[in-house]
Structures are given as C-alpha cells and as structure tokens.
C-alpha cells in the first residue's frame, strides 16, 4: 500500500492490481484515523529538495559528457543514464563513471568532482519556505535521513545553493550512491541491498519506512518491501508534505 499526499490535504491510497492502479481518495480525517506512524522518513534529493525546473534531470549526464570531452573520450559519452554500458556487468551510472575514470587514470570520485564543476547550480532557488527548519522539526518527531542515487559532491552543491549548508552541517544523515556496494558494484537506494543496509543501520524494518520521492518508479519499487511513500509532484511540494507530517498526531 502506498500513501500519497494529495491536494488540499487529501490522502490517496493506491493499490496495485496487475498493471493498473486503482485510486481511492480519503479526507485528512480518515488519514488521521488510519495513518501508521513511520519509524524512519527517507527524503530524496533531486526534484524534491528543489523544484525539477531548477536543474535539468540530465545535468549529471551532460556533465559526464563534458568531462569525457575534456579527456578526449568521445566514444564513452552517453545520451542518458540507462544506456551506459561497458564490457563488464555494471549496476548503474556510478559504476560506469568508475569504468571510464579508470581509463584516464583517476578515481571515480575525482571524476565526479570534475563533473560537478560543469554543472550550473545557480538556478536552484534559495529556501524561502524554510524547508530546512521544517525538516529539522520533523527529524525531532521521527528519525529522518536523505537518500540519493547521486553523489555527495553533487548533493553538497544542491545544499549550498538551496540552504547555504553542506552535508556535514545537517542535523540528519545523508546516504548517497556509494552506500550499498557488493562485488565491486554499487546498488541504488531502491535496491534490496540498500534497503537492507538502512534497516540494519537504523534498526528499523522496511515496512516502517516512509519515503518522500518524486520518482513513481522508485515509489513502486520500494512498495515491494512493504514501505510507504509520499509522491512529490506539482501539487505536493516537499514543504507542504513535511508541514502536514509535522501536524499529524
């Protein structure tokens, strides 16, 4: 069962039947009577901490291609994350970056630092909704962390542009793409390995997680572990969601 915060404080419960979604709307009063408090809230970074219009979803891919050009690696460039392939099994974009970085004799993290230098973060608007304060308030009510399939080097630039803070200055932890590694490969936050490590770290079962994310595919994936999620979209900003969660008894 997935919990979505709908417009005007309506909660929508979405149950998957085959390939279709059946949607039923409930009032905030119904939600208050049925809401099971989470034991861990997991907040996404990209498209959640800032509006997706403020930074292109493919910014990291464009930056990767720019760094490839800097090193003359034109054949290694990619048009989107999903088409990153090489001559050995890889789990995702971060593994592919490591594969390419090795070709030029530098570390994966150093390659990503060069990528970040090519990204313009100036369009990310400063936090006028006091989101960081609301997140801190929510973290006093529930354990809270940020999980991202991106790298902390990128997250730090987002945090600096949005809140004028860095990861180490936040009152809660950040887990990036490097958190879950097995057999030399890195696994995304929605993977079973990543979720299992979060369970171990916080001492909380996945069925007690509440994810705040903007990616429906990730929301659908984590539902397999019994987790619940609130989908961030045009009608439901992070500020609105965390305000409602802080008000929920």
Return the CATH architecture of domain 36-54+126-247.
3-Layer(aba) Sandwich (3.40)
| Percent of all residues in the chain with a pLDDT value above 90, rounded to a whole number | 63
Q: What is the DSSP string of 77-146?
A: --SSGGG---SS---SHHHHHHHHHHHTT--HHHHHHHHHHT---TTSPP-SS-HHHHHHHHHHHS-EEE
Listed in order, strand segments (DSSP E) in the chain are 2-6, 10-17, 20-26, 40-43, 144-147, 173-175, 181-182, 185-186, 209-213, 228-231
pLDDT at 172: 95
* Average model confidence (pLDDT) across the chain: 83
Task: Decide which of 204 and 77 is more confident.
Answer: 204
40 - beta bridge partners? Answer: 209
Other beta carbons within 10 angstroms of residue 178's beta carbon come to 12
Check whether 98 has a pLDDT greater than 70. Answer: yes
Over residues 108-128, the mean pLDDT reads 96
Residue limits of CATH 3.40.50.1000 in the chain: 36-54+126-247
Of the ranges 50-59, 91-100, 111-120, 209-218, which one carries the lowest mean pLDDT score? 91-100
pTM of this prediction?
Answer: 0.84
Q: What share of the chain is helix, strand, coil (3-state, %, to 5)?
A: 45, 20, 35
Place of tokens 């403020």: 54
Q: What is the pLDDT of residue 248?
A: 75
Measure CA 88 to chain center: 26
């Amino acid at each position: 069962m997935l919990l979505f915060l709908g417009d005007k404080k309506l909660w929508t419960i979405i149950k998957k039947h085959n390939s279709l979604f059946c949607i039923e709307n409930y009032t905030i009063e119904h939600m208050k009577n049925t809401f099971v408090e989470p034991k861990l809230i997991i907040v996404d970074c990209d498209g959640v901490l800032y509006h997706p219009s403020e930074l292109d979803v493919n910014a990291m891919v464009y930056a990767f291609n720019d760094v490839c050009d800097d090193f003359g690696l034109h054949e290694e460039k990619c048009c989107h994350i999903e088409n990153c392939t090489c001559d050995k099994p890889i789990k995702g974009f971060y593994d592919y970056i490591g594969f390419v970085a090795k070709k030029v004799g530098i570390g994966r993290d150093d390659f990503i630092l060069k990528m970040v230098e090519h990204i313009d973060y100036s369009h990310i608007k400063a936090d006028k909704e006091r989101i960081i304060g609301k997140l801190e308030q929510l973290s006093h009510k529930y354990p809270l962390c940020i999980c991202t399939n991106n790298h902390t080097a990128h997250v730090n630039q987002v945090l600096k542009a949005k809140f004028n803070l860095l990861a180490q200055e936040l009152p809660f932890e950040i887990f990036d793409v490097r958190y879950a590694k097995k057999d030399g490969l890195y696994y995304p936050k929605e993977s079973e390995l990543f979720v299992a490590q979060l369970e171990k770290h916080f001492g909380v079962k996945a069925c007690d997680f509440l994810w705040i994310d903007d990616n429906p595919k990730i929301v659908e994936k984590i539902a397999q572990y019994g987790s619940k999620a609130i989908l961030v979209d045009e009608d439901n900003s992070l500020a609105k969601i965390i305000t409602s969660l802080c008000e929920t008894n």
